[in-house]
Structures are given as C-alpha cells and as structure tokens.
C-alpha cells in the first residue's frame, strides 16, 4: 500500500520513500501464490487479477508479465501514486494492466469480477482487515483465489542490536498502530479470514522471510530509512504523534548508517501468507 | 542437540522430549545446504559429512541417504541418546553412518577430515558458539563447507496470544539462557563466524521459517510441550531455577491444549542459516 509517498513529488518519479518498495516483484514478494497462479493459467490463460494496494506497481507489473494473455488491475487508495505506477508499467513495456484509485473497503468492481484478488503489506496497515478480506472475496469469482502476504513486525530480527535501532522499531510499531494497523498482522491472517466468513478448510497458510544483509541491501535499506527519518512522512508522523523529536530521529538515522557499515549486520522478518479458495 | 532426553529411557526408544525432534530431516531442516551438497556430490560421490549435535539422528540419517556412496558421522555430547540414533539408522536401513559421543568444543577427529561439517539447533544452546564454529572449521577439509542453522527464539510468532503462552515463552528463553545459550542465535550467526576467524566473503547467509499450524502439527506440538511441562526435563529445570512452580507449569500445559484446539492457531519462527566456505 502506498502509504509512504510525499505529496508533491513529480508524477512518474518515485517518491523518496517508495524506493524500498520498488524492488518488490511477484517473484520475491508473492512466491506462495505463483504455483496456484500457474495452474490456474494452464486452464485459463485469460486470468483477471486484482492487486489491492498496488502502490508504485512493481508487483502488479510482474504479475502482468506472468499472464500475458490475462489482465491485471492495480488499485490504490492514494491517487498520487498512480502516475508512478503507470510509468513503471510503461517502462516495463507492459500493456495488459491498468491502475485506478479505490479503497479496499469498497472496491469499485461488480461481484465475482476477478480470478485472483491479492494484496501485499496492506492488511497490516488498516483497522478492519477482515472487512477488507470480505470485500476482496466479494469481487472474486467462485473457484477463484484471494491471497494476502503480510509482515509480522514483532518478529523482526536486527543485528547488531544498536540501542537507537530498538527505538526505531518502537517508532515504526507506534506509527503503524497510530494509523490503525496491526504490527503482528502475519500471525493473525487466518483469524482475520475466519472473521471474514470463510471456513478454515478454504485457507492455506504459509510463512516466509524477507531480509537485508548483503552490502548493497544494507546500503539501500539504510538510505531509504535515513531519507524517511530526515525528511519523509515518517518524520512528519513521528513529530506529529510525539513518537520522537528531531534529535531522536537524527540519532536513529546515524544508527542505520552505522548498521549499514557493519559486515555482520542483517535485518530479517517473518511474513504470514494465506491463499483462500473461494 | 540432544539436550532434552530424560536419563533412564529405554535404549532404542525415543525419550518423550525427543518426539518433536524426530520429524526433522535434511529436507525440512537443512534445505539451505542441499544444493551445495548436491554439487559437491557430483564431483565427489564419496563425501564425508559430520553432523554435530545429532541427537536422535533423523537429520544425520537423511543426509546418509542423500550420499549413498559417502559416509556420515553423527556426534552428540550426550551418550544416552546414541542408542536411539543407531536404532533410527537401523530402522531406515541406512548403513553408511556411525554415531559417537563427543563435544563440539573438542571434536575427536584430525584436522581436515570432513567435506561437510554441519549442525542444527546446536549453537543456540551453548556458551561459546564461535569456539564451536572454529572447531568445526578445523575438522573440515580445505574447499569444504561448515553449515549451521539456528533458530531465533525472539522472532517466535504465536497466535492466539493466550497469556500463559507468553509466560511459556519467557520460561523457554530463561531455560536457554540459564544453560548458557543465546535465544537470538539466528541473527548472530555471521558475527559468530567472523569471531571464529573467517572472512565475511566466505559466508553465505540466509533465513527460513519453521511453523506448526495444521491440526496434526498443532496436536503434535501441544502434546510434546505438555509432556515436557508435566514430566520432562523442562519441568525439572523450571523448578530448579525458579522459572515456574507446579501450578504455573500446569496452567501453561492447559494453554497449549487450548491452543491446539483453535483452528486459527499457529506458531512460526525464523531461523538463520550460514554456509562457510573453507
């Protein structure tokens, strides 16, 4: 979900905070869904896929490449990210895709429109994820799939354990909660799907990890977080909600710079994944 | 590492607490190592592999099946588990294997004896894991591999969040620390390998997960933990170190029984994995 963009960025250029999101693809962010997508594609090459909370669209675009005879719709609640998503698709030469504005709570589509409806790091940020899942199920065809992959922020493993990085973790969890989100989303996906009205037997649960540890991954993560701490929406929210002052945020940024230089440094997190058979 | 067996169990039968460990195989517990093992086997079918902290030997035995023209040695500091490991090998019809007693701090082998030296959930339990890695490197041939997979207990995600399960987590972390172990082992593997004297460029780091969420997995985990809480070494240690009294332990066991019945229940954890090229 494109929560991190700064209003006023040039259309077609990534918001500073989106840089970390634009490495995401279907292959690295939705491998749990790909075998099912491939088997569905074999019986129907014209699959219709909805990517909810598409953000700058890199995952949506890679789904579109995987179903060249199908069609992908990317939707995001924030209309300011849409020009960037369209630019990402155009740069990739992908034409079987469209992006539009809309809320996961009220998707602008008829019942049973899509074969696959999926989201990535969306439910973790919203207050009523079961309502979102119910709405995703509504627009999905019978025999189709609703899929979600969400982080479990409380599983985050950071090394070395610099004190300012612990404070950063608390800041990020506070930011997530203050926006109505659930830092422990990953472990709660099944309970949310049950609350959305599906049977346990319809749900396939799995877990996977994401991590940053190579020199380029460390540099990229550190730069992305420092940009957010020094000038992005994270700084604005931290100051607004009293989650940290200017000095606190600068100390956290310096800690991330130090972390990136440490050759034993890593950050890893667990993600929950559900496939719901409608 | 076979830390959980109760002295006095019949040889050839699994200690109650080992039941949870005996589902472990190379395929489910060491997938990060298998591509390297396969490529090494192509150039040398007669690989010699040392499995440190072999416990009841299920991982060692599955390694032996993967290198039928090679040989596996399983070693464990606790000699009382060895008859069980030998029985596991015999039941599997595996003959290219032997088990013996020994400490990871002083492996009873000459320098450069093995092509692959590996361990699984061993370093998390001991006080000087870098010394263990240095010793594992010593007995490994030049051009060989030292491999370790260790959990990061602080990444554990349990749902639902029953209060007694939180107390159980604290008990387990306390037990690990009181024995000299490191609950955050998974994230520290690279730092330990550097401390053992290897270069960062020799190390490949990855992360993976383990989880329990199907009805049979939930029942099996719950039974294993209840057995430990009601009569195993965990109970003895908890009482000895004041980590809980009889009533506390019984309440925890009841919570695990309740957890197993919940269809939204899951437990997942992140593991760190290193391959060190000697």
Is A139 a domain residue? yes
Task: Write the pLDDT tens digit of every residue in A200-255.
Answer: 999 999 999 999 999 999 999 999 999 999 988 888 888 888 888 999 999 999 99
Chain A: residue whose CA lies nearest to B205: A213
Is B100 a domain residue? yes
* Residues on chain B bordering chain A, Cβ-to-Cβ distance under 8 angstroms: 152, 154-161, 184, 186-188, 190-191, 194, 200, 205-209, 211, 213, 263-264, 266, 268-270, 272
Chain B: residue whose CA lies nearest to A189: B264
Q: Is A147 exposed, middle or buried (0-12, 13-18, 19+ CB in 10 A)?
A: buried
Is B72 a domain residue? yes
Pairwise CB contact (< 8 Å): A157 & B187: yes
User: How far, in Å, CA of B163 to CA of B258, rounded?
Assistant: 12
Pairwise CB contact (< 8 Å): B158 & A187: yes
Q: Check residue A11 and give its pLDDT.
A: 41
Per CB-CB distance under 8 Å, the chain A contacts of B207 are 157, 209, 211, 268
Q: Is residue A13 scored above 50 in pLDDT?
A: no
CA B210 to chain centre: 12
Pairwise CB contact (< 8 Å): B270 & A155: yes
Query: Peptide bond preceding B47: is omega within 30 degrees of 0, i.e. cis?
Result: no
Pairwise CB contact (< 8 Å): A263 & B187: no
**Cα A87–Cα A92–Cα A96 angle in degrees, nearest 5:** 85
User: How far, in Å, CA of A20 to CA of A28, rounded?
Assistant: 13
Chain B: residue whose CA lies nearest to A153: B155
Of B157, B188, B205, Cβ closest to residue A187:
B157
Q: Check residue B178 and give its pLDDT.
A: 86
User: How far, in Å, CA of A166 to CA of A234, rounded?
Assistant: 16
Long-range contacts of A36-43 (CB under 8 A, 24+ apart): A36/A145, A36/A147, A36/A275, A37/A63, A37/A66, A37/A67, A37/A116, A38/A66, A40/A115, A40/A116, A40/A145, A41/A66, A41/A67, A41/A70
Is B1 a domain residue? no
Half-sphere CA count of A95, side-chain side, radius 13 A: 1
Per CB-CB distance under 8 Å, the chain B contacts of A266 are 187, 190, 205, 272
Q: Check residue A252 and give its pLDDT.
A: 96
**Cα A92–Cα A221–Cα A62 angle in degrees, nearest 5:** 20
Task: Write the pLDDT tens digit of every residue in B153-164.
Answer: 999 999 999 999
Is B9 a domain residue? no
Per CB-CB distance under 8 Å, the chain B contacts of A158 are 187
Q: Is residue B4 scored above 50 in pLDDT?
A: no
* Residues on chain A bordering chain B, Cβ-to-Cβ distance under 8 angstroms: 152, 154-161, 184, 186-188, 190-191, 194, 200, 205-209, 211, 213, 263-264, 266, 268-270, 272
CA distances, B229 to each of A10, B7, B218, B255, B262 (Å): 60, 16, 16, 11, 20
Task: Write the pLDDT tens digit of every residue in B23-63.
Answer: 899 998 999 999 999 999 999 999 999 999 999 999 999 99
* % of chain B residues with pLDDT over 70: 93
Query: Peptide bond preceding A64: is omega within 30 degrees of 0, i.e. cis?
Result: no
Task: Write the pLDDT tens digit of every residue in A47-80.
Answer: 999 999 999 999 999 999 999 999 999 999 999 9
CA B175 to chain centre: 16
Pairwise CB contact (< 8 Å): A157 & B268: no
Q: Which residues contact B158 (CB under 8 A, 6 or more apart)?
A: A187, B165, B169, B259, B266, B267
Q: Which residues contact A25 (CB under 8 A, 6 or more apart)?
A: A58, A59, A62
Is A88 a domain residue? yes
What is the pLDDT of chain B when averaged over all its residues? 92
Q: Which pair of tokens denotes residue A104?
A: 């996961």
Q: Which residues contact B183 (CB under 8 A, 6 or more apart)?
A: B124, B152, B153, B154, B173, B176, B177
Q: Is B198 exposed, middle or buried (0-12, 13-18, 19+ CB in 10 A)?
A: buried
Is B3 a domain residue? no
Per CB-CB distance under 8 Å, the chain A contacts of B216 are none
Number of compact structural domains in chain A: 1
Print the domain residue range for B187.
16-277
CATH assignment at residue B237? 3.40.50.150
Q: Is residue A15 scored above 90 in pLDDT?
A: no
Q: Which residue has the higher pLDDT, A8 or A81?
A: A81
Q: Is B47 exposed, middle or buried (0-12, 13-18, 19+ CB in 10 A)?
A: buried
User: What's the gap in Å between the CA of A210 and the closest CA on chain B?
Assistant: 8
Task: Write the pLDDT tens digit of every residue in A91-109.
Answer: 999 999 999 999 999 999 9
Is B26 a domain residue? yes
Binned at pLDDT 50, 70 and 90, residue B243 comes out as confident
User: How far, in Å, CA of B142 to CA of B24, rounded?
Assistant: 29
Strand arrangement, sheet containing B140-159: B97-101, B71-76, B48-52, B114-120, B140-159, B266-277, B203-212
Pairwise CB contact (< 8 Å): A155 & B155: yes
User: How far, in Å, CA of A62 to CA of A67, rounded?
Assistant: 9
Q: Is A98 exposed, middle or buried (0-12, 13-18, 19+ CB in 10 A)?
A: middle
Q: Check residue A17 and give its pLDDT.
A: 54
Per CB-CB distance under 8 Å, the chain A contacts of B263 are 190, 194, 200
Per CB-CB distance under 8 Å, the chain B contacts of A190 are 159, 213, 263-264, 266
Please report, to the nearest 10 degrees, the dihedral formed by the alpha carbons of residues B248, B249, B255, B259 taken in order. 150
């Amino acid at each position: 979900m494109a929560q991190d963009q700064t209003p006023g960025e040039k259309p077609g250029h990534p918001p500073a905070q989106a840089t970390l999101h634009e490495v995401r693809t279907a292959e690295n962010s939705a491998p749990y869904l790909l075998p099912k997508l491939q088997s569905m594609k074999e019986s129907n090459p014209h699959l219709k896929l909805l990517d909810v909370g598409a953000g700058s669209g890199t995952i949506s675009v890679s789904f579109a490449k995987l179903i060249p005879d199908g069609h992908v719709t990317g939707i995001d609640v924030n209309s300011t990210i849409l020009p960037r998503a369209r630019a990402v698709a155009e740069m990739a030469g992908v034409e079987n895709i469209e992006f539009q504005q809309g809320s996961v709570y009220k998707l602008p589509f008829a019942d049973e429109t899509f074969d696959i409806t999926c989201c990535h790091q969306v439910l973790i940020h919203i207050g009523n994820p079961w309502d979102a899942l119910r709405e995703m199920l509504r627009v999905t065809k019978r025999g189709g799939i609703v899929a979600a992959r969400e982080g479990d922020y409380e599983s985050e493993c950071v090394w070395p354990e610099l004190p300012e990085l612990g404070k950063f973790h608390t800041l990020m969890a506070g930011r997530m909660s203050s926006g109505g989100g659930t830092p422990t989303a990953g472990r709660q996906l099944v309970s949310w799907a049950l609350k959305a009205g599906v049977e346990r037997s319809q749900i396939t649960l799995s877990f996977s990890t994401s991590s940053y540890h190579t020199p380029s991954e460390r540099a990229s993560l550190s730069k992305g977080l420092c940009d957010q701490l020094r000038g992005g929406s994270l700084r604005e929210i931290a100051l607004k909600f009293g989650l940290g002052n200017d000095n606190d945020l600068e100390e956290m940024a310096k800690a991330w710079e130090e972390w990136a230089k440490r050759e034993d440094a890593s950050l890893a997190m667990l993600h929950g994944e559900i496939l719901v058979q409608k």
